[in-house]
Amino acid sequence: MEALAATRLAGYGTDTSISCTCTGWPGASLWRQIEPRILEKGRVTMADSDQARSPLAIFHEHCERGELAYQVDPDSGAAVFYPRAVAPGTAKPNLEWRVSHGLGTVYATTTLHRRGEDPYDISMIELDEGFRMMSRVESIDPMDVQIGMRVKVRMIPATDTDPVYPVFDPAEG
């Protein structure tokens, strides 16, 4: 629970810092033990240039370049996704960015039928690098998406209202 609170404190927003008083917060003492260099006078700041932008902003920058990025915990070697400021379980802010090859397998899938709209797929994709993410499989009828199907990532360009985001298509061969 305290690691989760530390993760929320470190922030997912686009701000480079998050103000907090840290008094009375149950995770404050844990946070001071984990990473004392980024706690200054009750203000949390990101320590280095990569962390000066939120993890989500860094993820979107990779997506804009056509790359599916994820993080790795250097202590355990475990792949981490959704982008985070600190490692799950330890709350250490030492996650490293990697770029996926974009190949994976449909782990779970369902087709959503909304009244008055075309049906569409929602799938859990297990990437070859060892992390899973929710997305869609496109370019085929949503009812034809199968568990175990090999897929490859493709980026949907940003619009005025939505950032660039990854979807998947069936992999050739």
Burial class of residue 150, CB neighbours in 10 A (0-12, 13-18, 19+) = middle
- What's the rounded Cα separation, in Å, for the pair 155 and 66? 6
Please report which confidence band the pLDDT of residue 74 belongs to, taking 50, 70 and 90 as the band edges.
very high
Rounded to whole angstroms, the Cα distance separating 27 from 37 reads 16
pLDDT score of 10 = 43
Which pLDDT score is estimated for 53?
84
* Per-residue confidence (pLDDT) for residue 116, from 0 to 100: 95
Report whether pLDDT(5) > 60: no
Q: How far is CA 121 from CA 26, 91, 125, 132, 143, in A?
A: 41, 34, 12, 16, 8
31: pLDDT confidence band, cut at 50, 70 and 90?
Answer: very low
pLDDT at 99: 95
The amino acid present at 171, given as its one-letter code, is A
Kindly report, residue by residue over 121-158, the tens digit of the pLDDT. Answer: 999 999 999 999 999 999 999 999 999 999 999 999 98
Question: Of residues 58 and 24, which shows the higher confidence score?
Answer: 58
| Fold type of domain 103-170 | OB fold (Dihydrolipoamide Acetyltransferase, E2P) (2.40.50)
> Does residue 60 register a pLDDT over 60?
yes
6 — phi, psi (to 5°)?
-65, -40
pTM of the model: 0.68
User: What six digits make up the tokens of 41?
Assistant: 């006078």
Section 77-90 average pLDDT: 92
Domains of the chain by residue range: 2-99, 103-170
